[in-house]
Homo-oligomer: A and B are copies of this chain.
Amino acid sequence: MKKNSLAFFLLLLLATSIQAQTDEDAFEIRKIYDTALQEGQAYEWLRHLCLKVGPRLSGTAGAAAAVEYGKQMFDTLGFDKVYLQECQVPHWERGEKEIVRIVGSSTVGTQELNGIALGFSGSSGKLGLSAEVIEVKSLDELKALDPAKVKGKIVFYNRPLDPLQINTFAAYGGAVDQRVYGPKEAEKLGAVAAIVRSMTTKQDDVPHSGVTIFEEGQNRIPAVAISTNDADLLSSLVQREKVRVYVRTTCRQLSDKTSYNVVGEIKGSEFPEEIILVGGHLDSWDVNQGAHDDGAGVVQALDVIYNLKKMGYKPKRTLRCVWFMNEENGQAGAKKYAEVSNAIPEKHILAIESDRGGFTPRGFTTEADDKVYKPKLAIVKKWESLLSPFGIEIKAGGGSGADISRLKPQMGLLMGLYPDSQRYFDFHHAPNDNFENVNKRELLLGAAAMTAMVYLVDKYGL
């Protein structure tokens, strides 16, 4: 054989072997989807979590019940190790149903608004309070005002989510500073309460809660979100007359509670020190079942393990499923997990979080330390053709998830499951984020995509 022919022959052999490998992977990934769609338990677990456990805000009895449920579920799945990782979580309680009411308007008289107190916001006292409303569209607009005009008033933040963003998470990101920092800035200028337009892309009567942040020792004023319809009404009124609103909230900040991340682990057979994590957060807001946020994420993460077990797959690397506690208001679970893991230090080569709702998956977003991002992205990008038949792409950028991003110093790749985003903010932090609004196939397809990615990374490394 001539030298050239030999080179050609070897090249052909390599090409054939690569093709065979790809065919085998395609076969395995199809098998993963078959298993996930036929055998996956995510929907049934979510049913239980939503309808039997229900709301599970950090520090509440519901959250404790959710941890117990999680531990019991994990114990049935044949992990090598299941444990609870302790963390100290804040304990805020909403108290009685909020009242938000336009009073003494020359146009509408008295009118109830659909309001919901923000997490960490303060109490108005049992009698409530009423004051004149001033509307602003941004924190900057507030800060530019004469403080004398703000003192004693209720500040109303009313900048909508940008409807022109195709990805609704970008729209949310562009508006949520009003909810997170608006009340605290209003208080600094002497406002007695704050009202925020709900952080939703939908025009309706549903109010959306979420966290607001005050500084240590600051007076926590009452702060409520009102529905988008009511925000439009209030804004119209404010433009034509002086409007007074009555707000009554009885929220309480109690002392921190002990709570837990739920963790399950299967030891890798060849590279046990290389960890692949799948996770979501177990806590939810107190006004809903936390179906999309983030019941969907935790059951999908656990279904990854279930699907691989069902297929008899023995991982080479260590697989870890984590149900994080307290993502919504403090991220105490995420902080504790990363603190322990980074101190050892462990080596998470991949972490995937699902926390963008249980809708049809469209792919994965990615992030990593700058030093390793490009080569690692290039590796997973090579697998895109295996996943695109299932509608899955691998996106450059886009972040990962609040519960895993602190693992970045371990130089692994961090991913977020990226579902269709159009409906997510119809339900986010609102009383309608319930089981009935999750579609079984969409949920299972998300678990399937995560299982496929875990399979590839476990097989080939990263």
A binding-site residues for B, Cβ under 8 Å: 33-34, 37-38, 163-164, 166, 168, 201-203, 360, 362, 389-391, 420, 422-423, 426, 439-442, 445
- A391-B166 in contact (CB<8A): yes
- A164-B426 in contact (CB<8A): no
Q: From A36, which residue of chain B is reached at the shortest CB distance? A: B164
Rounded to whole angstroms, the CA-CA distance of A201 and B444 in the bound complex is 13
Q: Which residues of B contact A201 (CB under 8 A)?
A: 441
Rounded to whole angstroms, the CA-CA distance of A440 and B203 in the bound complex is 9
Q: Which residues of B contact A445 (CB under 8 A)?
A: 166, 422
- B389-A164 in contact (CB<8A): no
Set B37, B164, B202, B423: member contacting A164, Cβ < 8 A = B37
Q: From A34, which residue of chain B is reached at the shortest CB distance? A: B164
Q: Which residues of B contact A37 (CB under 8 A)?
A: 163-164
Rounded to whole angstroms, the CA-CA distance of A64 and B163 in the bound complex is 36
From known contacts A362-B391, A420-B360, A420-B420, infer whether A164 and B38 are also in contact, taking CB-CB under 8 Å. yes
Q: A38-B164, A168-B441, A422-B445 are in contact. List 14 more A-B contacts (CB 8 A).
A: A33-B164, A34-B164, A37-B164, A166-B389, A166-B390, A166-B391, A166-B445, A201-B441, A203-B440, A360-B420, A360-B422, A422-B442, A423-B439, A423-B442
Q: Which residues of B contact A441 (CB under 8 A)?
A: 163, 168, 201, 422
Number of copies: 2
Give 25 A-B contacts (CB < 8 Å), ordered by A residue. A34-B164, A37-B163, A37-B164, A38-B163, A38-B164, A163-B441, A166-B389, A166-B390, A166-B391, A168-B441, A201-B441, A202-B440, A203-B440, A360-B360, A360-B420, A360-B422, A362-B391, A420-B420, A422-B439, A422-B441, A422-B442, A422-B445, A423-B439, A423-B442, A426-B439
- A33-B202 in contact (CB<8A): no
Rounded to whole angstroms, the CA-CA distance of A442 and B421 in the bound complex is 10
- Residue of A34, A166, A389 with most partner-chain B CB within 10 A: A166
Q: From A35, which residue of chain B is reached at the shortest CB distance? A: B164
Give, as a whole number of angstroms, the nearest-CB distance from A422 to chain B.
5
Q: Which residues of B contact A202 (CB under 8 A)?
A: 440
